[in-house]
Amino acid sequence: MISTWSEWKSYPRPGRGDNLEAPISPGIYEVRIAGTGALYSFGAVDNLAQALALLRVGPKSWFGRRATSNIPDLEYRTCATSSKAGAKAAAERMVGRREIYMSGAA
């Protein structure tokens, strides 16, 4: 069973003290570049909050710190499911629909 998508939220930037708001449950997440809407990351995971918190955002410098000037403004949304299997099935349906749409639009 799939629930509905959350609203788009700004992805926290390092050093600003922003918080990440996501369920601690299986589901699907989508991260996009705020200015263009281009897909940045997408996945079906066991724990939405953990997956978003561990998402690699931007390049790292030589000393292990993230180069904050190169990080794009990102937005994210989540869709909780009852299990990871449910999340994977929903993600596969979404990818299939996107591929059908894109093939018809080409």
Q: Which of 31, 48, 42 is nearest to 84 (CA)?
A: 48
CATH code of domain 9-105: 3.40.1440
The string of DSSP codes covering 78-104 is EEEBSSHHHHHHHHHHHHHHHHHHHHH
Per-residue pLDDT of the chain (106 residues; tens, 9 = 90+): 456 899 999 998 877 778 899 999 999 999 999 999 999 999 999 999 999 999 887 665 555 555 556 678 999 999 999 899 988 888 888 877 666 666 665 5
Domain ranges of the chain: 9-105
N-terminal to C-terminal alpha carbon distance within the chain: 32
Q: Which of 82, 10, 20 is nearest to 54 (CA)?
A: 20
What is d(CA 34, CA 17) in angstroms, rounded to the nearest whole number? 19
What is d(CA 98, CA 77) in angstroms, rounded to the nearest whole number? 17
What is d(CA 104, CA 98) in angstroms, rounded to the nearest whole number? 10
Tokens of 63: 């000393």
